[in-house]
Amino acid sequence: MGNRQTCTAAVKLLANTLRKSTNFSITDDITHHCFRIILPSGQVVSVSVPPDANERLTMETLGSAVFETALVGNDGNLMYSDELGYEDIQRFFSHADVCEELNRVNSLTLREK
């Protein structure tokens, strides 16, 4: 199985885990290795399993993928916020770490004006 297919499988596994364990609104639109979450606070976060950071990922190791989160602005483009700790994308190494980060961002959300 190719790296992109493995990353897509890993991101689908993460999306399903988050659907079962959180009240976050997760879009059904999973494109390759990425999906978006609408937090209860209204903040949108993009979650991905980037192929370049998961070159050795296999179907047997999907749970140990490298995950990235990024903030999404009202215009649909990535945005950055020093106040939320997003001078750049953030990287995580487990489903639990991603979930913890989403909860953290949800509690600190700054709304765009």
**Does 70 or 27 have the greater pLDDT score?**
70
Alpha-carbon dihedral 30, 50, 95, 105, rounded to 10 degrees: -80
Residue ranges per structural domain of the chain:
3-108
pTM: 0.87
Of residues 8 and 69, more confidently modeled: 69
Structure tokens at 100: 């913890």
Please report the pLDDT score of residue 29 as a whole number: 76
State how far the Cα of 67 lies from the Cα of 93, in Å rounded to an integer.
6
The alpha-helical segments, DSSP class H, found in the chain are 3-21, 95-108
Q: Which amino acid is at 45?
A: V
Mean pLDDT of the chain: 88
Over the stretch 28-72, which tens digit does the pLDDT of each residue have?
Answer: 778 778 999 998 888 899 999 999 999 989 989 888 899 999 999
Contacts of 81 (CB under 8 A, 6+ apart): 71, 110
User: What is the average per-residue pLDDT within 81-97?
Assistant: 93
Q: What are phi and psi of 99, to 5 degrees?
A: -60, -45
- Residue located via tokens 């989160």: 69
Give the Cα separation of 82 and 52 in Å (integer).
25
The mean pLDDT value for 85-104 works out to 94
Q: What is the pLDDT of residue 98?
A: 95
